[in-house]
Amino acid sequence: MRNSIQRARSAAVAVSLAVALASASAGAFATEKADATPEAPAVTPSAETVAAQYCNNIADAAGDARFARQAAALAALERDIEDRLARLEAKRAEYQDWLDRREKFLKTAEEGLIAIYTQMKPDAASAQLSIMDEMTAAAILSKLPPRTASAILNEMDAAKAAQLTNIMAGLADRTTSQRKSG
């Protein structure tokens, strides 16, 4: 390592001596230009200057390339979002169709169920409604014609009939308050 540093110094000294000799000999031969201003020494561009020029020259191209990459990425994301939205809309339509069919079925089943309980004898209907879920039994009773509902409640155990009547009264209060607030 020391040898290479010493060689580099020796080479630098030799170059500077050669430059000094060349300028001295050029001064001896110059007769007419003695009064002229000395010429500026030749400037060699340093590595930093060359790198800066290179960066300045490609800055626009690099910016354009970066913009093109970003635009392509955004376009791909936009296509992905549109695809997801289309699939989501298809699922929403599928669920809406299913919900419509379910509502139609429930309405038909509800009407049919009410018709069945309307045609039943009060003692048979009261026996079935007594063992049924209280909310369901109260909902059925509330949709029956008043004469049929009263005959069924008359055939029930008094405690069960009172419980179903309280539930139906609560349903009526909720329905009334929802109509007033809505």
Residue 69: what residue type? R
Res. 141: pLDDT tops 50: yes
Residue 108: predicted pLDDT: 64
Question: What percent of the chain clears pLDDT 90, i.e. is strictly above it?
Answer: 40
pLDDT digits (tens, 9 = 90+) for 64-97: 999 999 999 999 999 999 999 999 999 999 999 9
| pTM of model > 0.85 | no
Which residues, in sequence order, are CB contacts of 122 under 8 Å at separation 6+?
148, 151, 152, 154, 155
Residue 32: predicted pLDDT: 47
Residue 94: predicted pLDDT: 94
**Nearest of 169, 112, 163, 159 to residue 133 by alpha carbon:** 163
Q: How confident is the model at residue 37 (pLDDT cuts 50, 70, 90)?
A: low
Q: Give the C-alpha separation, 4 to 150, whole Å.
A: 118
- What are the tokens at 103? 């509502």
Place of tokens 């001064």: 27
Q: Tell me which of 167 and 106 has the higher pLDDT.
A: 167
Q: Taking residues 113-133, report their average pLDDT.
A: 92
Q: Taking residues 7-26, report their average pLDDT.
A: 55
Res. 48: pLDDT tops 90: no
Q: Taking residues 95-113, report their average pLDDT.
A: 80
Res. 26: pLDDT tops 60: no
Q: How confident is the model at residue 101 (pLDDT cuts 50, 70, 90)?
A: confident
Q: How confident is the model at residue 24 (pLDDT cuts 50, 70, 90)?
A: low
Q: Give the C-alpha separation, 48 to 46, whole Å.
A: 5
